[in-house]
Structure 1
Amino acid sequence: MGVYLSVRGWLECVDDQERLVWDIVRRHDDDFYSRGWSTLSGPNGDTCVFYCGTIREQATEWFLGKLRDIARIPPPADPADLVRGLFLAHHEQHGMQEWQLRDGGLFVASTGGRYDYLAA
């Protein structure tokens, strides 16, 4: 079979950043795992891009590379308007990690077990 990761999370973006996020998603499209992306716009013009899917362990670096590219999207005007987001990735053998998009980068952190209930 193989080892899998369940990936769930979202990105927050402003103005034209959503289009750039989708450009990156399309550029990395694999016609399978990429189907887990969707968008929701809030009443105040807030835009979130979500991902929900289960990927093979071998696709982890491919997915993280996509997130790194998204994290580097420049802010439209205000330097504080970088894309930011949070993903929880549950690895079948190694447990849960947080994938944080902030400050123009991707940061991987342990969850300390606080989200293990979501893996059940």
Structure 2
Amino acid sequence: MENVVLIIHLLLALGLIAVVLMQRSEGGGLGMGGGGGAVSGRAAATALGKLTWLLGAAFIVTSITLTVLVAQKSSGASVIDRLGVTPPAASDTTVPSGDLLLPPSADDNAPLVPLAD
């Protein structure tokens, strides 16, 4: 089911790109100029304009459908669980005393030895 919706989604995306590129340019940046379009109260509803709205609406519907399908498929499982990787076990290393955390001084030539607590 997911693959069918994905293929339809990709075909809608390609169709939407093609229809938008076939439309007549009204000149100017961001639809400014040309006398109509975004400036006028109601733009002329051409066949390509209607097809653009139809393909755009279908594209949004398939996007939401894919999101719902993937969310249902992955609910209740984390990415780590699906990979099958077990987290590393906690090691039994003890925290060294405060003296080992300090940098050696210039007159210390002897190696660091942990002090008994």
Q: Where on the TM-score scale, by shorter chain, does this alignment land: which range?
A: under 0.3
Determine which structure has the larger helix proportion and give its number: 2
**Alignment TM-score, normalising by the size of structure 1:** 0.24
Structure with bigger gyration radius:
2
Determine which structure has the larger strand proportion and give its number: 1
Query: Higher relative contact order at CA 8 Å, sep ≥6: structure 1 or structure 2?
Result: 1
